[in-house]
Amino acid sequence: MFKEYTVFLNYLLNLKNISIEKAAMKFRYCLLFATFASFMITACNTGNSNKKEKSISHSTNAGNNKDKDTLVLSQTFHNSRYNFSFKLPEGWKAEDRSINGDGFFIKSGWENIDLRAYAEQLLPDTNPNEICTSKSVFIFDDNTRGTFCRDSTEWFFYRIKNDVRLVFYARAEKKLLLKHEEAIKQLAATLRLNSNLGI
């Protein structure tokens, strides 16, 4: 590095016929200017990068309409016919309006969402048809594997034991289902047959 400085000084001396002191002074000014310019370029780039990151973060949060609240599930409801249970938050209601006593309509604090929990008897030696556009494994609270079967406006959470299939059902516009997705899954995960039936 020192060698380059010396060559530059000699160049200035030969070119301008000025004293070493004046050349050194000009050289210092050049270095000072170059350092300042480099600092400003770095600072501007860092500022733009931070603005870009903030913009990306803001746009991500703005597009995320999901309900992040975790429900406090303090009530347990039981079905006597199939001996299953599930949990709901305080203030929500489960009404047995079915003709044959197979389940409940859930009155939640959400508007325009139909929630139900019910059971159905499966015929022997049959594979239950689950008609939906997307299927995935769903894990219930007690680590039992089930099925999450969804269409754009209807979601089914299935849990099968022997010849009984438990169902947690949600129906609404797609945007509402997606908004409350985590809470719906939390509710569905509590669905279970009572322990005396093996689950």
- My answer on whether 180 and 100 are in the same domain is yes
The pLDDT > 70 percentage for the chain reads 60
Q: Are 69 and 54 in contact (CB under 8 A)?
A: no
pLDDT score of 100 more than 60 = yes
> Among the listed ranges 27-31, 44-48, 82-86, 164-168, which one has the minimum average pLDDT value?
44-48
Residue 131 placed within a domain: yes
Mean pLDDT in residue range 34-48: 57
CA 25, CA 33: separation in Å to the nearest integer?
12
- My answer on whether 135 and 173 are in the same domain is yes
Q: Write the secondary structure of 78-139 as one string of H (helix), E (strand) and C (coil).
A: EECCCCEEEEECCCCEEECCCCCCCEEEEECCCCCCEEEEEEEECCCCCCCCCCCCEEEEEE
- My answer on whether 79 and 56 are in the same domain is no
> Among the listed ranges 11-20, 97-106, 128-137, which one has the minimum average pLDDT value?
11-20
Whole-model pTM: value is 0.64
pLDDT digits (tens, 9 = 90+) for 52-88: 433 333 233 334 455 556 789 999 999 999 999 999 9
pLDDT score of 109 more than 80 = yes
Query: Which CATH number does the domain housing residue 157 bear?
Result: 3.40.1000.10
pLDDT for 59: 32
Residue 169 placed within a domain: yes
pLDDT score of 181 more than 50 = yes
CA 39, CA 35: separation in Å to the nearest integer?
6
Number of domains in the chain: 2
- My answer on whether 50 and 80 are in the same domain is no
- My answer on whether 114 and 189 are in the same domain is yes
Instruction: Choose from 28-37, 95-104, 124-133, 172-181 the range with maximum mean pLDDT.
Output: 172-181
Residue 143 placed within a domain: yes
Structural domain harbouring 54: 2-62
pLDDT score of 18 more than 60 = no
Distances from the Cα of 54 to the Cα of 50, 66, 80, angstroms: 6, 20, 54
- My answer on whether 91 and 58 are in the same domain is no
Residue 68 placed within a domain: no
> Among the listed ranges 18-22, 94-98, 184-188, which one has the minimum average pLDDT value?
18-22
- My answer on whether 79 and 6 are in the same domain is no
pLDDT for 31: 61
Domain boundary (15, 39, 62) is at 62
pLDDT for 77: 96
Residue 25 placed within a domain: yes
- My answer on whether 86 and 142 are in the same domain is yes
